[in-house]
Amino acid sequence: MAQPILDAANLKKAMRHLAKVDSDFARAIAEVGHPELREVPRGFGGLMRSIVGQQVSVHAARSIWLRLEAAVPSMEPADFLTMTDEQLRAVGLSAAKMKYGRSLAADIVEGRIDFEALHALDDAAAIAMLTQAKGIGPWTAEIYLMFAHGRPDIMPGLDLGLVIAAQHLKNLRTRPDAKRLLKIAEAWRPWRSAAALLLWHYRRNMPDWSAREPKAERK
């Protein structure tokens, strides 16, 4: 049976499910409301946008992305491969990101990453296909599948924002590592992607507790 797509209607359904199975989520929803659905383009453009955003601020990433879109309006991998180092430096790409972008574009053009085939793969196999490209790690692949393909049951265990949010939502003494976060998230199936959206939303709205112990959970 095919997975449902995490669209606006299913996001509401997922929030009801999460509130039912986890009282901490019910409290979070009461405190901060529902998260917004996130979407990114499918294909080369969506993955390239993730590469652009690596290790820079959100503001810097947006500026670079807008310049790159202006330079390569089609955002087709074959067109990206025609760009020179000088042209890519002019939009703000570092040498590493030029390398990653070209590697990704070549993988797509030469068929190693096939977005039609990707659609039919389960999450683990889809992540494996994407991460064969240089510069595409598990977190980038997971985020892409969540936001570009609407995959409903992915939990990016390496995401720092999710770790911090889960620590405070669950009133944990220490930050959970990826293994522990994934264990906690088992209870949130089959809507772990929606759970991640809610945790990010909760993180943006909670006080900055980075310098002190989390407050006791309210009952």
The string of pLDDT tens digits covering residues 25-53 is 999 999 999 999 998 889 999 999 989 98
pLDDT the model gives residue 208: 60
Whether the predicted pLDDT of 77 surpasses 50: yes
- 182: which residues sit within 8 A by CB, 6+ positions away? 155, 157
The domain boundary, picked from 149, 172, 195, lies at 149
pLDDT the model gives residue 215: 44
8 Å CB contact between 196 and 147: no
The reply to whether 73 and 53 lie within a common domain is: yes
Rounded CA separation 166/172 (Å): 8
pLDDT the model gives residue 207: 66
Across 1-15, 72-86, 155-169, 188-202, least confident range: 1-15
pLDDT the model gives residue 3: 78
Q: Minimal CA–CA distance to 108: which of 88, 87, 136?
A: 136
The reply to whether 75 and 124 lie within a common domain is: yes
Looking at the structure of the chain, the number of domains it has is 2
pLDDT the model gives residue 212: 45
Alpha helices in the chain (DSSP H): 8-21, 23-32, 44-52, 58-71, 77-80, 85-91, 95-109, 115-120, 123-130, 138-149, 160-169, 178-185, 192-205
Which string of b and e fits 95-113 if b means at least 16 CB within 10 Å? eebbebbbbbbbbbeeeeb
Whether the predicted pLDDT of 219 surpasses 70: no
Whether the predicted pLDDT of 192 surpasses 70: yes
Tell me which amino acid residue 74 is: S
The reply to whether 98 and 20 lie within a common domain is: no
8 Å CB contact between 56 and 64: yes
Whether the predicted pLDDT of 217 surpasses 60: no
In the chain, the percentage of residues whose pLDDT exceeds 90 is: 85
The reply to whether 139 and 55 lie within a common domain is: yes
For 129-162, how does the pLDDT look when each residue is reduced to its tens digit (9 = 90+)? 999 999 899 999 999 999 999 999 999 999 999 9
Q: Is residue 66 part of a domain?
A: yes
Q: Which pTM does this prediction carry?
A: 0.86
The reply to whether 123 and 169 lie within a common domain is: no
In the chain, the percentage of residues whose pLDDT exceeds 70 is: 93
- Residue 176's domain spans which residues? 8-38+154-205
Alpha helices in 3-94 (DSSP H): 8-21, 23-32, 44-52, 58-71, 77-80, 85-91
At residue 21, what are phi and psi to the nearest 5 degrees?
-90, -15
The arithmetic mean of pLDDT across residues 75-92, rounded, is 97
